[in-house]
Every structure is written in C-alpha cells, then in structure tokens.
Chains A and B, each alone.
Chain A
Amino acid sequence: MIFDLLLAAALLWSAAQALTTPDLFRAVVMFIIFGLLMALAWVRLSAPDIALAEAAIGAGLTGALLLDAVGHLRKKQRNRSP
C-alpha cells in the first residue's frame, strides 16, 4: 500500500518534471525514469506483459531516440553559434 502510494507520487512527480523542466536533456532523463516507474506500476497491476513492453519500448528505445535527438540539436546549436 505504502509502496503503491510512493510509486504513484513518483510517477506524477517525474511526469511533471519531464514536462516542465527547461533543460531538454533533463526532460529526456525524467521521461526514461517515468517509463521505468510506469513498468513497475504495470507489474503492480499484475500486467507483466505490458510492463515488459513498456520497459523495452517506452523507456529503452524511445529514450534512446530522444537522447539521440537531443544530441543532434546540441550539435546543430554548437555549429550555429560561433
């Protein structure tokens, strides 16, 4: 029960952080944390199939794609600024 409440609070917190932080890299990291916590939530809801998919695709692959995008954006900015 306490674990579930903490999990729900952490989910809301990481979601709010991912949406509101001005730093893109931080937002992506918060998004990945949100995905991993979401996978835990699915396990708690006894849906391990969805938990596996969420951890692998929601947090892993999407996170990697977003990090890649942030890297490209930074490279572009660096090339433009000097």
Chain B
Amino acid sequence: MKTLLNVVVLLLASTLGLALGWSMLDLPVAAVRLPEQVTAQLDMSGVAHPVTAVLLNFRGYDTLLEIAVLLAALLGMLVLPRHVAGRENRPVPASTMLQTLARLLVPLMVLVAGYVLWAGAYQPGGAFQAGAVLAGAGVLLHLAGLLPAWVTLGQTLRAGLAVGLLVFIAVGAAVMAQGTLLQYPPDWAGALILAIEANLTLSIGLILAGLYLVLTNSGERA
C-alpha cells in the first residue's frame, strides 16, 4: 500500500515538474521591456537602486499589501488559543559565553540593520533585509536567555508592530491629494521612501521576531 502511494506521489510530482518546465519553455517573449522602463524612470523615483525604486515607488502598492499580510499572519497567530500560564515567562538562562556573545553581537546587528536600511537607496539592501537582521537579533537575545518570550503584548509593542503599515497608509493617503495612490512627488520621493522604510524596518523586525517569540512559548507545557 505504501509503495503504491509512493509511486502515485512520484508520478504526480514528475508530471508537475514536466508541466512546469514545458510551460517555462513555452512562455512568449515579454511584450514590454520592464528593465528599460525602470532605468528610464529611475531619476523620478527618489532612490538610485532599481530594486528599491520598484519595491517602494513604482510598485509600492505590492509592498503595502505585503506588510499587511505579514501583520495579518502575526495577528492570526495571536488569536489562536495559546498556553499562557506565565510559568515560562522567564527565559532559561544560557551559558555566560553565549550571553556575553549576544550582548556583544546585538548592538552590532542593530548597526548593520541601520546600514542595510540606509544602503537600500543606492545598492542591494532595504527595509525587508534590515528588518530580518533586527528579527535575528531578537531571536538571538531570546536564545541567550536575555529576552523573555512574548506572552502578553504591551501597548508599545503593539504600536511597534503596526507602525510600518500605518505610516505607509498615511503617506499613501497624504499623496492621494494630487491624484494617485502612492505616487510621490519627485522632490519628496527620497525622504518619503526613507521615512516609510525606517518604520517598515521596525515593524518587520518586530513581526518576524514575534513569529518566533510568540510561538516559542505556546508549546511549553510540562
């Protein structure tokens, strides 16, 4: 029975693989040359790196929805019934070595996150990567026993989780006065994008760290 199931799964998987490969080869050549269009409009975008220009300016709507999806994912986890007895509120202290290392590394990681955020304007980097580094710092602090798991979320933490999406929506609504959603005036674009990205970094870092710090406590039953 199990071998039969394996054969069926193998057949289905190889069919899917072949179909995907065949459709890749069968794709028509794109009618519009997007890279050229991006390069042509790059001066208007307020940043010098094409990927950041696409993510935060030309297709800013996608990024807005993305952060909304991330926040929704964390909110979904928070409404799930969790085991919040509070016994495991204090983290298990790790070895002194790990704690010292974490104390040394975390400030550096925050610095790196700030640099990656700033560098996103003209080279690979940006809010998502910076947020991921911040989240990594949070997870490291928890594993070293310096940061308790998130059993209940205080007001400041909730505000931090939401601020990225809220600032993004606020900027989008503010520039709507001149016609289109999320179309920044070229003179202001750089500053607006940096403001959005700084808030996004904080929220993404907290949300990604939250995915770990909220879950890590929920299974702690003796």
What is the interface of chain A, defined by CB distance below 8 A to chain B? 48-49, 51-53, 56-57, 60-61, 64-65, 68, 72, 76, 79
Contacts and interface: CB of A to CB of B under 8 A. Distances in A.
A79 B219 CA distance: 13
A61 B135 contact: yes
Given A65-B212, A68-B215, A76-B219, 10 more contacts: A48-B124, A49-B129, A52-B129, A52-B132, A56-B133, A57-B132, A57-B208, A61-B132, A61-B136, A64-B143
Contact of A61 (B126, B208, B216): B208
Given A48-B124, A49-B51, A65 B215 contact: yes
A76 B221 CA distance: 9
Dominant secondary structure of chain A at its interface with chain B: helix
Contacts of A52: 116, 124-125, 129, 132
Given A49-B51, A49-B124, A52-B124, A60 B215 contact: no
Given A49-B124, A65-B211, A79-B222, A56 B216 contact: no
Contacts of B51: 49
Contacts of B135: 61
Nearest to A48: B124
Interface in B128-147: 128-129, 132-133, 135-136, 139, 143
Given A48-B124, A61-B208, A64-B139, A53 B215 contact: no
Dominant secondary structure of chain B at its interface with chain A: helix
A72 B219 contact: yes
A64 B125 contact: no
18 contacts: A48-B124, A49-B124, A49-B125, A51-B124, A52-B124, A52-B125, A52-B132, A53-B132, A57-B132, A60-B132, A60-B136, A61-B212, A64-B139, A65-B215, A68-B215, A68-B216, A72-B219, A79-B222
Contacts of B128: 53
B132 A56 contact: yes
Nearest to B49: A49
A49 B120 CA distance: 9
A64 B124 CA distance: 24
A62 B14 CA distance: 27
A51 B123 CA distance: 13
B124 A68 contact: no
Nearest to B135: A61
Contacts of B215: 65, 68
